[in-house]
Structure 1
Amino acid sequence: MATTRIKWLKRIFASLAAAVALYLIAALFGSILPANPYWKSPDDGIKLYIETNGVHTGIIMPIHSDVHDWGALIRPEHLDDPTEYGSHILVGWGHEGVYRNTRYWQNLRFKDATSAILGSDDVLLHVYHLKYPQAYPHYRRAFKVSEAEYRLIVEAIKSRFLFDPSGNAIPSSGYGKDDLFYEARGHYNAFYTCNSWTSDVLSQAGIRTGIWTPFQGGVMRWFLEPNTDGL
């Protein structure tokens, strides 16, 4: 009986190891195979940034531009201190439990990790306010998009917001004075992560990125050029 149990445990662990290995291999190839391979950043366009904190990625956009004004949706009065309202916003999307309970990865709870892997409709948009951001090679990289591409990015992000009966976004407290969570729509799982979402938004706008990027490195690798604020 004990020998049979050991054999079954070995098979289970071997199956799990094989599944993880296949996932990582697929993520590698998905990250290096491009969607929209012929896209080029225009010389004259709207400057955006891709940022990573080492795990999550997000898109930095100007709050006000000729193409779109985020001020009607993301308002100064949503913040406890409206003076923290920025010139730009960093927007990411992800699993609610992980976002709210895991500011630092040592705080990650097994329950939240399991829910994120298996799948959940409990998702949020995370918005940081930034004031005149600059590019940094290791975690924030600049690129430009055309007005038409930016409109598609805006629409893809706006479609994730949930609204109250009056048509307003629904904010809640973030980690500090300069960030907020917003109620959102979507389904998070191991195959559609916060980083998959970032690439999905870019891909919908015709911008070159990996075809499947569950990890932050798969997103950032497509913006390796040494861009600076003189871009």
Structure 2
Amino acid sequence: MRKFILILFRVVVSIISLVIIYLFAIIILPLFGVNNKKGEKLDDSMYIYIVTNGMHTDIIVPVKTDIMDWSKIIPYSDTKSKKHYNNIAFGWGDKGFYLNTPEWSDLKLSTAINAAFGIGSTAMHVTFYNDIYLGENCKQIKISKEDYKQLVNYIKNSFDLDSNNKVRYIKTDALYGENDSFYEAKGTYSIFYTCNTWTANALKHANQKAPLWTATQQGIFYHYR
């Protein structure tokens, strides 16, 4: 009995220690930034945006540029509206969370566990926009076209393509509006690699300011205050 209690005590202490280390990493690591380009002048440039709903971040880019026409990969017809738009947002995340949790009140323990520990699969949530409103939850980033090419490659490589190298559309009623759609994605979601980690890595690939590591949207927006 004493041996069992000792083992249980060590397990509890280990779990508490891991939680403390994780929380410490969430607070401290995002404070360290990479790719600080303050004051840099860009002659050949365009604009992209990062947006958050308070928990989850997306990257917004133009639908059509001389570098990429996203409508050839993500057709407008995949949305309910079928309309044409000027901008497109990409958000990577846990598939079960996306499709089974339209509201926080719908969150199930099984969905949370699968997402936290990398048990489930992932999806790309794509949303079309015309107007973009800057503010605390939406920041504009000036980016060179060469860096934008790197961002395009990162986003494209996050999709899980079919045998014909086409995005794999997810047919679902779990849409957020008239202008969005879901697709199969690569990678594994967990507490160590969240939707916000994906966004931060996208910025890193595009040589933009980003936290060293983050699991939260605050870690990203801290560098765009």
Q: Same fold (TM over 0.5)?
A: yes
Deviation of residue 217 (structure 1)?
Answer: 0.4
Q: Which residue of 2 aligns with 1:95?
A: 94
CA contact (8 A) 2:114 2:120 kept: no
Amino acid at match of 1:22: I
CA contact (8 A) 2:203 2:209 kept: yes
Deviation of residue 211 (structure 1)?
Answer: 0.9
Separation (CA, whole Å) in 2 of partners of 1:61 and 1:204 = 15
Q: Determine whether 1:77 maps to 2:83.
A: no
Separation (CA, whole Å) in 2 of partners of 1:153 and 1:116 = 25
Q: CA RMSD in A?
A: 2.1
Q: Determine whether 1:107 maps to 2:100.
A: no
Q: Which residue of 1 aligns with 2:224?
A: 223
CA contact (8 A) 1:95 1:120 kept: no
Amino acid at match of 2:51: E
Q: Determine whether 1:128 maps to 2:130.
A: no
Q: Could you tell me the percent identity over the aligned residues?
A: 32
Q: Which residue of 1 aligns with 2:186?
A: 185
Deviation of residue 167 (structure 1)?
Answer: 2.9
Separation (CA, whole Å) in 2 of partners of 1:10 and 1:104 = 37
Deviation of residue 55 (structure 1)?
Answer: 0.9
Deviation of residue 170 (structure 1)?
Answer: 1.8
Deviation of residue 11 (structure 1)?
Answer: 4.6
Q: Call closer, same or farther: CA 1:106–1:10 in 2, change over 3 Å.
A: farther
When normalised by structure 1's length, the TM-score is 0.87
Deviation of residue 114 (structure 1)?
Answer: 1.0
Gaps of 5+ in 2: none
Separation (CA, whole Å) in 1 of partners of 2:220 and 2:200 = 6
Amino acid at match of 2:87: H
Q: Which residue of 2 aligns with 1:26?
A: 25
Residue number among 143, 159, 162 corresponding to 1:161 in the alignment: 159
Amino acid at match of 2:46: I
Gaps of 5+ in 1: 225-231
Aligned length: 221
